[in-house]
Structure formats: C-alpha cells, structure tokens
C-alpha cells in the first residue's frame, strides 16, 4: 500500500510539469498581449509606450526564458504578480475569490448528494414506475436545460416578478450596516438561487449513477440470500445493497475535488458572483498570464490529488482492490 | 415522538424560508413627477460589466477604472456641456503670443482628500511621473511633446512646446496625482491604486473586490458639494443580469442597447420608474478599405460603394433608428463638424455607372469583373459586436445587387488586430472609431502613421491631407483650425477612404428620482455633482458626506 502510494506520488511530478508546459505554451500562442487588449487601436497610445509596457512585463524575452523564469518562481510557491494593470500578487487575487466559490460548490454538492442519492435509490427500487419516470424526466430536464437560461428565468420569476429574492450579487447595498444575523440572512438569500441552480444541473449525473449501480447490486445473489433469510426490504437495501452500490460514488467524490475551486464562468457571470470562474475568465480575456497559470496549476494539482484520494479510498473501502 | 420531530423540522424549515422571503424590499410608491428642491443625500447605484483594475488613471486602460477615477480626480481643464474647454483645477490660463507656452493659474485653497493643500508641485509631479520611462503608462504621448515645464509659484504652472500644438491645452485634462503620497515610490506598487486620493467631488470609501466600489460625496469640493451623497458601482458581468437588476430597481443607471431602448423598456411600469436619455455617442462605424488592394485604389470604386450602401436601412433596421448617418470622422454636434461636404445618396444605378467607368464589366452571371478577375473580397468584423455583423450582412446584400461579392469573416478581437490588421492582411474591415473630443485626426489619416501598430492601417496617402493635418495640429486659434479641419472633411468625403456609415446614439436609463440631468453634446455626466434627489423621493437613507 505504501509503495503504491509512493509510486503514485512520484509520477505526479512529471505530470504537473507536463501540464504547466502545455498550458504555458497554449496561452502564449493566443494572439494579444497583457495590458494591451484595451489599448489596441487607441490613438492616444504611442508605439514607444507599447514597447515600454512589453519590456515591463518581460514579454520581449523569448518564450523559453519566460517559462524558465516562471518555473523558478513556481517551485518556491511564488505565483508572481498579476499582469492586469492592478499589479497585485496572484495569490492575493485567488485568495479573495476562493471562499465564495468553495462555499457555493460545497453547498451545491451537499444538495446534490442529499437529493441525488435518494432519487437514485427510489428510482432503482421502483424501477419503471410513474414516479421513477417523472423523476428521471425532471433530472434530465435539469441537466439538458442551459444553465444561463434557467438562471435568467428564475431571476425574472423570483427577483423581478415575485420580488422575494435578490436578482444577483452576494450582498445587499446596505450590507455593512447589518447585524451579524442580518448579514447571514442576507448572504443566504443571495445564495438560494445560485446554489439551487448549480445543483439542479448536476442531479442527473449522481442519481443515474446511483440508480444503475444499485440495480446492479440488487441483481447479485447475496441480495437474494438476504431476502431469503427473511430480512425486511428496508434492511436489505440499506445494509446490504446501498453500501456496495455507493462504491462508485467515491470516485465521483474524488473527481469533484478540483471542481470545488473552479467555479463556472457562465453561472458566476450571470449571478455576478465574484468567484474563481470569473477570475479565470477575466484573466484569459486580459491575457493575464501569471493569474491564468496560477489557477491552472492549482487546478491541475487538485485534480491529481483528487484522483489519488479516490484511488486510495477506493482501495481502503473495497478489499478486492486492496488485495488484488 | 419521531413524527413530531419530523413535523417540527418541516415547520422550522418553512419558518426559515418565510424569514428569508420577508426580508424582500418594499416598493416605493412615491411619485417622481415633482421636481422638488435640491437636497443633499441618497445614493446612486450604477452597474459595470468589468471590474476596475487600477485607480491611478495613468496606469489603467479600462473604462470602469477611468469612470471611477473621473469622480475622484480633477485635471487642470475639462469640457463643459457644449465641449468647450473650461477650467477645472486651473482657474484660468494664458497662451503666449507665439502660441508656444501655456501658463496655468491654479485654484487656491483646493485640498486633497486627506487634507493636504494642492499646489503646482502636484502638477509638476504628475507630468514627470507620466513621462518617466519607468512608469508603464500608455498615455505619455502628448506630454512628451512638452519642451519645458516650470513652477512659477505655488499656484502658477507653465509648459512650453517646441511648436504650437493644438491638443496641448486639453491634454492637461488628465488626472492630477498627489505628489505627497507618490513621490519617491514605485507607482506600480502604490496603495493608491486600490485606495485613491484625489481632489474630486467624491472620496473613495470602499472597494469590495469583484463586487462593488463605493464613493462618498466630498463636502469640501471646491466647485460645490455634490448633492448625491454616495455613489456605488456594482460589478455585474452579464448584461442580461444587469438589465434585470435595472428592471428590479436595484441599479439606478444603465446604458441601453437600441433593442432595450426601443422595445424592452417601452412599458408604463418601467417609465414610471425611469427616464431615458439619448445623445450622440462619440463614435462612428465605418467600412474601411485596404487601399493597397488593386480594386480599392481607384477612388471611383470606393465612391460606387458609398452609393451602393443604404445607410438609412442600416440605421432603421439594426440600430432601430437610434443613430444618424455619418458623413465624416466627426459627429454633427461638435464645433469641428463640416456639414458642407459631398454626400453620396443611396443610388445603385449611379454605383453601377461608377464601376463601369472604373473599367468593370458585368458578366451574364451578374458578377462584376475587371480584366476577367471577378470582384470578390472579404470584410473582417470583430466577434461579439452584433451591430457590426448585421450591418455587414445588409451591405453584403446591397453589394450583391451591383454584382460585387463580399464575404464576411467574423474574428475574435485580438486575432483580428494582431494577425490581420497589423499584418495588413485584409481587403476591408467593418469597425468603429471613438471620436476624440479634441478633433485631432493626425494618427488615423497622416501618411506617416502606417507603421506596425499605427492607426492608418488602410494605408491612406494624400499629400494635401498630410499638410492640412499638420497645419490643423499646430494652429492654436480655433477658427483657423476649423478652416483646415473643414477642408480635411471635404477631401475625405470626396476620396471615401472609408465609407462612413453611422454615428449611434448613446441611450441611458436613469431612475426618475434623480433631477437636474441635462443631456448635451458632452453626454449627461458632465454636471453629475448638480444631480439631486428631492427630500421626499430619497430611497437610501445615507447620512451623506464624509467628515474629516
């Protein structure tokens, strides 16, 4: 087991470098340069000023030199300074965006599991019943409908028409004057729509997973045995079937770790949530190389870690994998 | 027991939900028809799709940074409603007899937001830091032409140029920075880029990253204390969301698209809450030709195109009437505009005649050909700009009627500029220019401005224009300058290096409780400090103004 772990960890190192190299190359191949996009075609900006700004960012050096400089910094966990005109450390920018994205993703992941697993179990148990079909249609409709469209519809309904929930943002205009309870309620009100909508889109995945995996288990002979020895159905499903059927869910859980920090661009833009998705999008639009690379590296690292955790916990949970 | 707890849980859940709902805001029933009396207080909330990046304006290139900065800082001069240059931090100025130097008399008693007095040293510092090669600013061009800058006394500042420079005076409208907070520091790492200190009507209060920027009225503003107590810019990256926030009355001001202006805000409930304003935007859209292209070198071809395009149909169909036909590089409400130029009415017959004159022949398939080569070209448009893409489609159809095949290629902005325009690798482009308040056309039309990254990318060369541009640029006297500019517009209209298509209207919705808004050629924001909300119509109880 330990040897396995060490091997996995060792192979992560070249993988990380590979990822950074490819992302660095791809980003620099995109036309346009930082600090310049808005300055493009502006008569007030002279050619000398342009050259000066390029030199300031070190963009006049060859690409491999730029990569090397970046790499030397990154191994010391220094993400550098943003190329956006605010010139702030990348790590600060990520730090102030991270909490809200993690909160929303955790909440919606919680919702997905709370609703997705029971839906899956129910659909497996009462396969082909009317309710199963209704639930399946509902989760698939949620999956198929474009997020931005559902978001706008709910915003119009709850925000503009009923006026019971705020349309966008995470804080009201008078947030700083509220008491602690008021602040919590205010943020909660703002989070209802974004969390609900991000959860609805992913319900389909987890509930289908749950359903098919449970159906598989229910066909096993030991389930028949359990029934045969006279256990009530509740017990059979809860004690014998569900436990085994939950195994694949671990994998999904592991794979969702990187998703925790990567917010969705569309959805964060629509709800004006200052999260990671927005930061990444604006950085790409502004060709802010250090910020893009910072987010990519963290994302890549978390993906690899998530995979590792999934594999390891899988091995822990399932003796067949551990021994075999 | 178990059942009871379950019931309780459900009850608790509903209670929480009801609590959440009950926090919804109450609707104002007030009537906004009464103009009332000016009063201090209330807050205006605006939306911005981008977050400001840097509140030291010489370091920023995005519009939301400049918007915030415009409330915080002052220049020495500024534009009034009719685009005349008036004093801002400068009380008056004197231009020397040889037109080479300007002496600014600065206002006395002006204080920075931190209480320190403003003097000529701040002006000198701003000038020096802008031209400092270590400052990564894109805006050093105009200041580099200054030969000598002198502080005569604490409130007198003089700049001298090598030769008379017409845009010199207005170049001093750029924001004056506080010397006492910036001198001797690396300006790119100064805390002022997130917490600015200026002399302007509003004082910086708070910036919640990714969410909002809040400014508070400056009670000691030298011109007069602004009536509106607080200004909040909310960052809302999605325009559809911003429009919903406007309809929901959560933002007070927003620029509207033609569709929103004409159709989507045209219902009583909206008009009960909002006033809509329009004024000519400082921008025009044009079809620009690569004049190195062998067909486009012929003036008659360009004139034929001007005849073949129906500008009115573009304005009515795509801008829904929210624009006017452009005849040159200025808009009609500017002093520099010359209406007396050759205009090319829509007339396909005359277009055909002009093409024939230029040696084109229409084949049996309807295609125009010259020496056997069919007249085909590609127009480049930038992605995301629907107005331009749709205009190109209308033009495409009109051109096909005179046997010219125009293909449309939509490209992402950076690709369009870097790979096509910079490399001169295009036949034609459909783009727009912003019209500078100061009518200096040198950078776009002078034949010396054809280098890489320079703006005369259509390679326009006309000796007379070159001379006139230089003369206009170095004539300080407005009437004299106007004579040259008039002639330039006549030549451009005759030459048609671009087909000038239209000047759009800027359309803005502002909540009706704000009074004192008076649209003019300069837009609506020029008298922002005079906007007010009558006492009985105020919405946000903000105890206005910061105290020191």
CB contact under 8 A, A32 and B244: no
Secondary element (H or E) of residue B442: helix B442-445
Whether the pLDDT of residue A35 is over 70: the answer is: no
CB contact under 8 A, B418 and A32: yes
Query: CB within 8 A of A309, min separation 6: which ones?
Result: A254, A257
Do B256 and B505 touch, CB atoms closer than 8 A? no
**Nearest partner of B259 among B317, B327, B208, B320, judged by Cα:** B320
Mean confidence (pLDDT) of chain A? 83
- Name the minimum distance, in Å, from the CA of A308 to any CA of chain B: 33
Q: What local confidence, expressed as pLDDT, does residue A255 receive?
A: 75
**Nearest partner of B482 among B273, B318, B330, B285, judged by Cα:** B330
Phi first, then psi: what are they for A5, rounded to 5°?
A: -60, -45
How far, CA to CA in Å, does A128 sit from each of A79, A136, A214, A245?
Answer: 53, 10, 14, 19
Pairing of strands B376-382, B368-370: unpaired
Chain B partners of A174 at a C-beta cutoff of 8 Å? 540
A277: left (phi > 0), else alpha (psi -120 to 50), else beta?
alpha
Considering CB atoms only, which of B133, B232, B417 is closest to A52? B133
- According to the per-residue pLDDT averaged within each range, which of A48-52, A86-90, B262-266 is highest? B262-266
- Name the minimum distance, in Å, from the CA of B90 to any CA of chain A: 23
CB contact under 8 A, B54 and A274: no
Pairing of strands B405-411, B274-280: unpaired
3-class secondary structure for B397-433? HHHHHCCCEEEEEEECHHHHHHHHHCCCCCCEEEEEE
Whether the pLDDT of residue A4 is over 80: the answer is: no
Q: What local confidence, expressed as pLDDT, does residue B23 receive?
A: 45
- The nearest alpha carbon in chain A to B542 belongs to A174
CB contact under 8 A, A163 and B248: yes
Residues comprising chain B, all counted: 548
Q: What is the pLDDT along chain B (548 residues), one digit of tens a residue?
A: 344 455 565 555 555 555 555 444 444 455 788 888 899 999 999 999 888 888 999 888 788 899 999 999 999 999 999 888 999 999 999 999 888 999 999 999 999 999 999 999 999 999 999 998 888 887 888 898 899 999 999 999 999 999 889 889 999 999 999 999 999 888 888 999 899 999 999 999 999 888 899 999 999 999 999 999 999 999 998 888 999 999 988 999 999 999 999 999 988 889 889 999 999 999 999 999 999 998 999 999 999 999 999 999 999 999 999 999 999 999 998 999 999 999 999 999 999 999 999 999 998 888 999 988 999 999 999 988 889 999 999 999 999 999 999 999 999 888 888 888 888 999 999 999 988 888 888 889 999 988 777 889 999 999 999 999 999 998 888 899 999 999 999 999 999 999 999 999 999 999 999 999 999 889 999 999 999 999 888 888 765 444 44
Do B74 and B261 touch, CB atoms closer than 8 A? no
Considering CB atoms only, which of B141, B193, B433 is closest to A86? B193
- The nearest alpha carbon in chain A to B60 belongs to A85
Dist CA B489 CA B342 (whole Å): 9
Q: What is the residue whose two structure tokens read 């009515």?
A: B316
Dist CA B67 CA B44 (whole Å): 14
- The nearest alpha carbon in chain A to B58 belongs to A85
A269 touches chain B (CB under 8 A): yes
Query: CB within 8 A of B503, min separation 6: which ones?
Result: B280, B281, B283, B284, B323, B324, B325, B326, B331, B332, B435
Q: CA A180 from chain center: how many Å?
A: 29
**Could you tell me the end-to-end alpha-carbon distance of chain B, in angstroms, rounded to an integer?**
62
**What is A79-119 written as a DSSP string?**
--B-SSTT--BHHHHHHHHHHHHHHHHHHHHHHHHHHHHHH
Query: CB within 8 A of A233, min separation 6: which ones?
Result: A227
Chain B partners of A86 at a C-beta cutoff of 8 Å? 53-54, 193-194
Considering CB atoms only, which of B193, B451, B455 is closest to A41? B455
Q: What local confidence, expressed as pLDDT, does residue B305 receive?
A: 95
A319 touches chain B (CB under 8 A): no
Dist CA B233 CA B251 (whole Å): 9
A279 touches chain B (CB under 8 A): yes
CB contact under 8 A, B241 and A160: no
Mutate to test the interface with A, among B54, B230, B250, B329 (most CBs of A within 10 A): B250
Chain A partners of B212 at a C-beta cutoff of 8 Å? 171
A67 touches chain B (CB under 8 A): no
CB contact under 8 A, B24 and A165: yes
Dist CA B363 CA B375 (whole Å): 11
Considering CB atoms only, which of B20, B137, B248 is closest to A167? B248
Alpha helices in chain A (DSSP H): 2-29, 47-57, 63-74, 90-125, 130-144, 147-154, 180-218, 221-228, 233-235, 243-245, 247-261, 265-270, 276-285, 289-317, 319-323
CB contact under 8 A, A44 and B188: no
Q: What local confidence, expressed as pLDDT, does residue B487 receive?
A: 95
A241 touches chain B (CB under 8 A): no
Q: Quickly count helices (H) and strands (E) in chain B.
A: 16, 21
Task: Give per-residue pLDDT as tens, A230-286.
Answer: 888 888 888 888 888 887 777 777 777 777 777 677 888 889 888 888 888 888 877
Q: What is the residue whose two structure tokens read 């950085």?
A: A283
Chain B partners of A30 at a C-beta cutoff of 8 Å? 414
CB contact under 8 A, B19 and A185: yes
Q: What local confidence, expressed as pLDDT, does residue B24 receive?
A: 42
- Name the minimum distance, in Å, from the CA of A227 to any CA of chain B: 27
- Name the minimum distance, in Å, from the CA of B24 to any CA of chain A: 5
A38 touches chain B (CB under 8 A): yes
Do B269 and B275 touch, CB atoms closer than 8 A? no
**Nearest partner of B80 among B223, B176, B203, judged by Cα:** B223
Whether the pLDDT of residue A323 is over 70: the answer is: no
Task: Give per-residue pLDDT as tens, A99-152.
Answer: 888 888 889 888 988 998 899 989 998 888 999 999 999 888 988 988 888 999
Q: What local confidence, expressed as pLDDT, does residue A7 receive?
A: 82
- Name the minimum distance, in Å, from the CA of A148 to any CA of chain B: 10
Whether the pLDDT of residue A324 is over 60: the answer is: no
Whether the pLDDT of residue A318 is over 60: the answer is: yes
- Name the minimum distance, in Å, from the CA of B188 to any CA of chain A: 7
CB contact under 8 A, B23 and A189: yes
Mutate to test the interface with B, among A35, A53, A167, A279 (most CBs of B within 10 A): A167
- Name the minimum distance, in Å, from the CA of B482 to any CA of chain A: 21
Burial label for B345, CB within 10 Å (0-12, 13-18, 19+), is exposed
Considering CB atoms only, which of A40, A167, A269 is closest to B237? A269
CB contact under 8 A, A159 and B21: no
CB contact under 8 A, B61 and A85: yes
CB contact under 8 A, B138 and A50: yes
CB contact under 8 A, A40 and B417: yes
Buried b (16+ CB within 10 A) or exposed e, A245-262: bbeebbbbbbebbbbbbb
**Could you tell me the end-to-end alpha-carbon distance of chain A, in angstroms, rounded to an integer?**
11
Among residues 98-137 of chain A, which lie with CB inside 8 Å of chain B?
none
A184 touches chain B (CB under 8 A): no
A·B CB contacts under 8 A: 166
Dist CA A216 CA A241 (whole Å): 9
Mutate to test the interface with A, among B210, B267, B385, B441 (most CBs of A within 10 A): B210
Pairing of strands B373-374, B368-370: antiparallel
**What is B344-380 written as a DSSP string?**
----HHHHHHHHHHTT-EE-TTS-EEETTEE-EEEEE
CB contact under 8 A, B206 and A87: no
Phi first, then psi: what are they for B123, rounded to 5°?
A: -65, -45
Task: Give per-residue pLDDT as tens, A204-217.
Answer: 888 888 898 899 88
Mutate to test the interface with A, among B244, B449, B450 (most CBs of A within 10 A): B244
Considering CB atoms only, which of B133, B209, B238 is closest to A274? B209
Q: What local confidence, expressed as pLDDT, does residue B55 receive?
A: 93
**Nearest partner of B445 among B425, B424, B414, B468, judged by Cα:** B468
The structure's pTM equals 0.81
Dist CA B278 CA B43 (whole Å): 23
CB contact under 8 A, B24 and A164: yes
Whether the pLDDT of residue A44 is over 70: the answer is: no
The sheet that has B361-362: what strands, in order across it?
Answer: B361-362, B368-370, B373-374
């Amino acid at each position: 087991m330990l040897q396995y772990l060490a091997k996995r960890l060792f192979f992560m190192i070249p993988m990380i470098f590979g990822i950074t190299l490819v992302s660095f190359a791809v980003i620099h191949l995109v036309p346009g340069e930082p600090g310049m996009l808005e300055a493009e075609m502006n008569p007030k900006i002279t050619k000398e000023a342009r050259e000066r700004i390029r030199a300031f960012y070190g963009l006049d050096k060859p690409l491999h030199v730029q990569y090397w400089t970046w790499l030397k910094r990154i191994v010391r966990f220094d993400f550098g300074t943003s190329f956006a005109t605010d010139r702030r450390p990348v790590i600060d920018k990520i730090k102030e965006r991270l909490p809200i994205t993690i909160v929303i993703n955790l909440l919606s992941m919680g919702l997905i599991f709370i609703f997705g697993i029971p839906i899956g179990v129910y659909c497996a148990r009462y396969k082909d019943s009317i309710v199963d079909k209704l639930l399946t249609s509902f989760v698939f409709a949620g999956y198929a409908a474009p997020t931005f469209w559902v978001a706008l519809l709910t915003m119009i309904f709850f925000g503009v028409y009923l006026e019971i929930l705020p349309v966008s943002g995470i804080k009201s205009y008078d947030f700083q004057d509220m008491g602690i309870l008021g602040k919590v309620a205010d943020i909660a009100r703002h989070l209802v729509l974004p969390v609900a909508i991000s959860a609805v889109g992913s319900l389909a995945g987890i509930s289908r997973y749950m359903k098919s995996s449970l159906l598989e288990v229910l066909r096993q002979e030991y389930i028949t045995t359990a029934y045969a020895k006279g256990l009530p159905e509740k017990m059979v499903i809860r004690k014998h079937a569900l436990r085994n059927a939950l195994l694949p869910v671990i994998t999904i859980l592991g794979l969702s770790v990187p998703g925790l920090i990567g917010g969705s661009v569309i959805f964060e833009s629509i709800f004006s949530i200052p999260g990671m998705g927005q930061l990444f999008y604006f950085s790409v639009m502004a060709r802010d190389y250090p910020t893009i690379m910072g987010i990519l590296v963290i994302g890549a690292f978390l993906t690899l870690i998530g995979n590792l955790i999934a594999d390891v916990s899988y091995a822990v949970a399932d003796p067949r994998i551990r021994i075999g | 027991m178990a059942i009871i707890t379950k019931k309780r849980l459900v009850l608790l859940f509903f209670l929480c939900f009801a609590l959440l709902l009950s926090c919804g805001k109450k609707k104002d029933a007030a009537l906004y028809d009464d103009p009332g009396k000016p009063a201090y207080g209330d807050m205006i909330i605006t939306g911005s799709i981008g977050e400001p990046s840097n509140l030291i304006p010489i370091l920023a290139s995005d519009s939301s940074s400049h918007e915030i900065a415009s409330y915080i800082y002052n220049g020495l001069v500024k534009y009034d409603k009719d685009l005349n240059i008036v004093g801002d931090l400068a009380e008056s100025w004197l231009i020397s007899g040889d037109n080479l130097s300007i002496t600014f008399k600065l206002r006395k008693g002006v204080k920075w937001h931190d209480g320190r007095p403003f003097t000529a040293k701040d002006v000198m510092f701003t000038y020096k830091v802008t031209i400092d090669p270590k400052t990564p600013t894109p805006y050093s061009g105009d200041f580099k032409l200054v030969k000598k800058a002198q502080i005569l006394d604490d409130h007198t500042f003089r700049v001298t140029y090598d030769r008379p420079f017409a845009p010199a005076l207005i170049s001093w409208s750029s924001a004056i920075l506080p010397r006492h907070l910036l001198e001797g520091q690396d300006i790119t790492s100064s805390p002022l880029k997130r917490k600015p200190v200026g002399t302007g009507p509003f004082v910086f209060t708070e910036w919640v990253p990714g969410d909002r920027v809040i400014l508070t009225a400056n009670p000691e503003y030298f011109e007069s204390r602004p009536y509106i107590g607080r200004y909040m810019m909310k960052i809302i990256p999605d325009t559809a969301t911003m429009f919903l926030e406007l309809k929901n009355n959560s933002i007070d001001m927003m620029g509207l698209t033609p569709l929103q202006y004409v159709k989507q805000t045209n219902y009583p409930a909206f008009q009960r809450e909002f006033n809509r304003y329009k004024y000519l935007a400082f921008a025009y859209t044009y079809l620009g030709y690569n004049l190195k292209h062998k067909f486009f070198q012929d003036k008659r071809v360009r004139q034929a195109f001007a005849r073949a395009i129906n500008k009115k149909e573009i304005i009515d169909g795509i801008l829904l009437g929210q624009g006017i036909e452009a005849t040159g590089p200025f808009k009609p409400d500017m002093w520099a505009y010359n209406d007396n130029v050759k205009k090319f009415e829509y007339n396909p017959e005359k277009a055909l005649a002009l093409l024939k004159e230029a040696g084109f022949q229409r084949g049996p398939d309807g295609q125009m050909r010259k020496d056997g080569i069919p007249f085909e070209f590609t127009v480049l448009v930038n992605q995301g700009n629907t107005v331009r893409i749709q205009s190109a489609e209308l033009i495409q159809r009109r051109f096909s009627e005179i046997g010219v095949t125009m293909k449309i290629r939509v490209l992402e902005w950076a690709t369009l500029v870097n790979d096509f325009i910079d490399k001169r690798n295009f036949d034609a482009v459909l783009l727009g220019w912003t019209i500078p308040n100061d009518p200096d056309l040198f950078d776009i039309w002078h034949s010396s401005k054809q280098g890489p990254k320079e703006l005369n990318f259509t390679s326009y060369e006309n000796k007379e224009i070159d001379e006139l541009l230089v003369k206009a640029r170095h004539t300080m006297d407005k009437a004299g300058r106007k004579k040259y500019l008039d002639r330039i517009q006549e030549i451009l209209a005759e030459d048609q290096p671009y087909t000038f298509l239209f000047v759009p209207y800027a359309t803005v919705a502002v909540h009706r409780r704000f009074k004192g808004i008076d649209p003019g050629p300069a837009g609506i924001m020029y008298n922002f400090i005079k906007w007010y909300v009558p006492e009985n119509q105020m919405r946000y109880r903000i105890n206005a103004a910061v105290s020191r």
